[in-house]
Structure 1
Amino acid sequence: MFRNREIRQFAVLFFIIAVSAVSMGFAVSMTAGMLAVVYTVVFGVFFFVFTKARYKKIAQIADQIDLVLHNENRLYIDETDEGELSILQSEIRKMTLRIREQNEALRGEKTYLADSLADIAHQLRTPLTAVSLILSLLEDNPDENERKKLVREIKTLFIQMNWLLDFLLKISRLDADIVTLKNESIRVRALMDSALQPFLIAMEIHGIVLKMDVPETANVNGDFGWLSEAVQNILKNCIESAGDQGHIEITCIDNPLFLELTIHDSGCGFDNDDLPNLFDRFYRGKKANASGYGIGLALSKLVITKHGGMITAKNHFQGGAVFVIRFTK
């Protein structure tokens, strides 16, 4: 306590005042002098005990702050009576709790970043290994037709890697909040037509029948380009699941409370074990023949969530998969 310069100065000043008061008391009378001594001692002891208690509380707060700064999860600060010290304790408690929350968030982000980098490396390693193998075959192959075939395979693999990197870049930009999403009125029918456009030829070749019931008046606010891509990823999943001679049904509910899009395919649906993880990044399902990289649905969910909507997936009671997208108005 006496390490504090202010306390030392106060002690010296108190000693001078006490000596002066006692001297004047004895100058008046013996009784006045004794009373001055008693009052001086009582006041000095009371002030010493009170100040020591306050400094003890401050020392406890300092110890707790030091624990938090050294990543200690425990945080305990005693409650005190109303006063400036109590207000200080309350503010320090808020600060330390916020620091701990930020530390936990940073640890979570570091873990997520490490896992994401490991997943990306794993996803890229497979096509890169295939390219390396094909290049070794290409180098020693004298057959011109075979060489052309190997070159086409390399081009296909590079297209796949470029697609993968493009998706990963989009996800990372959305995660980092560096994408400015437009907020414009979008006709849902035009949005669905745009999302279906890349698949029309494939659907015709495979005999997939499309039934769409979307009112012309249905509108949603958002970024047309990003929402179109989000719906495209869902439609791609449904088209692949529906297979030859399958069908896809798209319906829309539009009311003053929300707008809801439902996409139903005639495929085999999802395994129950896969349902909780469908929108997780790099999740490809537990089936041995699962294809793709497992990021299309993850991107769709991220885009829809950024627009204030939500997406769910389930199995239809009549068979097939059902995706439900809802935007609250």
Structure 2
Amino acid sequence: MLRNREFRQFAILFSFIAAAAVALGFAIHTAAGILAIASSAAFGTAFFAFTKARYTSIAQISDQIDLVLHNADHLYIGESDEGELSILHSEITKMTLRIREQNDALKKEKEHLADSLADIAHQLRTPLTSVNLILSLLENNPDENDRKAFVRETEELLVQMDWLLTSLLKLSRLDAGIVVFQSEQIDVDNLIRAALRPFLIPMELHDIDLQIDAPKGMMIQGDSGWLAEAIQNILKNCIESAGDNGRIAIACKDNPLYTEIAIHDSGAGFEKEDLPYLFDRFYRGKNPNATGYGIGLALCKMIITRQGGTITAKNHPQGGANFAIRFPK
């Protein structure tokens, strides 16, 4: 305690006052001097004990804060009696717990980043390996038809890699919060047809039947470009699931609470154990033969939720997958 300048100054001042009081007491009467000595000793002892207890509590708080700064796994600060020290105790406890939560969040974020980088490397390595293999086959294969087939396959792989890199870039921009969504009135029928435009030829080639039920004049609020991108990711998933001679139905409805866009395909639907994780980034399902990169639906959900909407996926009672996008009024 004597290291504290204020405490030293108080001790010196108290000693002068106590000496003066004792001297004055003895000048008046011997009994008064003895009483002054006893009073000074009692007051000094009480003050010393009280101050030492406060310094002990402060030292305990300091030790706990030091543990937090050194990433201790456990944190405990005992309760104090009512008073200013108790208030300080409480506020420091809140601060240290908040620091602990932030440290845990940063740790999880680092782990998530490391996992994401590993997933991205794996996703890119697969098509790159295939391209390298095809190039080696091209070099050693003189047959012109085989060479053309290899070139087409290489082009498809490069298109997949371009889509993958573009989607990863969009995800990173959304994660960083640098995407500014426009807020405008969007005609739902026009939005759906704009999203369908890139898939019309592939759907015709695979003889996929398309049904659209979107009443005229149905409007939602959002960014038409990004929402079309989200719907395209769902349609891409549905087209792959429906396959040749499949069917895709898009139905829209409006009520006082929300506007809904439901997309249903005639594919095999989802495995029960996959349903909770469909929109998780890089999740490709339990099926080892599953195609895709596990990015499209994650990107879709992020786009929709950032604009105030919700998206759910489940198996349709008549079979196949059913996606429901809702925008509250």
Superposed displacement of residue 109, structure 1: 0.6
CA distance in structure 2 between the partners assigned to 1:198 and 1:153 by the alignment: 20
Partner of 1:249: 249
Partner of 2:23: 23
* 1:144-180: CA deviation from partner (whole Å, max 9, x where unpaired): 6554544443333222211111111111111111111
Partner of 1:51: 51
Alignment of 1:1-329 (within 5 A): 1-142=1-142, 146-329=146-329
Letter in 2 for 1:25: G
Superposed displacement of residue 41, structure 1: 0.8
Give the TM-score normalised by the residue count of structure 2.
Answer: 0.94
- Segment of structure 1 superposing worse, 253-262 or 223-232: 253-262
* 1:198-219: CA deviation from partner (whole Å, max 9, x where unpaired): 1122222333222222222222
Structure 2 unmatched runs, 5+: none
Contact conserved, 1:262 with 1:325, CA < 8 A, in 2? Answer: yes
Letter in 1 for 2:100: R
Q: Measured at CA, do residues 132 and 195 of structure 1 come closer, stay the same or move farther in structure 2, by a change above 3 Å?
A: same
Letter in 2 for 1:39: S
* 1:46-101: CA deviation from partner (whole Å, max 9, x where unpaired): 10011011111101110111111111232222222332212211211111111111
CA distance in structure 2 between the partners assigned to 1:58 and 1:36 by the alignment: 32
Superposed displacement of residue 249, structure 1: 1.8
CA distance in structure 2 between the partners assigned to 1:123 and 1:276 by the alignment: 22
SS at match of 1:261: strand
* 1:166-196: CA deviation from partner (whole Å, max 9, x where unpaired): 1111111111111111122211111111111
Superposed displacement of residue 25, structure 1: 0.8
- Segment of structure 1 superposing worse, 106-115 or 233-242: 233-242
Q: Measured at CA, do residues 246 and 130 of structure 1 come closer, stay the same or move farther in structure 2, by a change above 3 Å?
A: closer
SS at match of 2:326: strand
How many residues matched? 329
Give the TM-score normalised by the residue count of structure 1.
Answer: 0.94
CA distance in structure 2 between the partners assigned to 1:244 and 1:144 by the alignment: 29
Letter in 2 for 1:289: N
SS at match of 2:283: coil
Contact conserved, 1:73 with 1:100, CA < 8 A, in 2? Answer: no
SS at match of 2:169: helix
CA distance in structure 2 between the partners assigned to 1:289 and 1:321 by the alignment: 18
CA distance in structure 2 between the partners assigned to 1:63 and 1:158 by the alignment: 58
CA distance in structure 1 between the partners assigned to 2:88 and 2:239 by the alignment: 62
- Segment of structure 1 superposing worse, 126-135 or 7-16: 126-135
CA distance in structure 2 between the partners assigned to 1:17 and 1:121 by the alignment: 77
CA distance in structure 2 between the partners assigned to 1:203 and 1:131 by the alignment: 27
Contact conserved, 1:252 with 1:259, CA < 8 A, in 2? Answer: yes
Contact conserved, 1:209 with 1:245, CA < 8 A, in 2? Answer: yes
Superposed displacement of residue 321, structure 1: 1.1
Letter in 1 for 2:82: E
CA distance in structure 2 between the partners assigned to 1:58 and 1:169 by the alignment: 50
SS at match of 1:274: helix
Superposed displacement of residue 20, structure 1: 1.0
Paired-residue identity, %: 67
CA distance in structure 2 between the partners assigned to 1:246 and 1:119 by the alignment: 32
CA distance in structure 2 between the partners assigned to 1:138 and 1:95 by the alignment: 64
Superposed displacement of residue 38, structure 1: 1.2
Q: Measured at CA, do residues 262 and 75 of structure 1 come closer, stay the same or move farther in structure 2, by a change above 3 Å?
A: same
Letter in 2 for 1:168: L
Letter in 1 for 2:252: C
SS at match of 1:81: coil
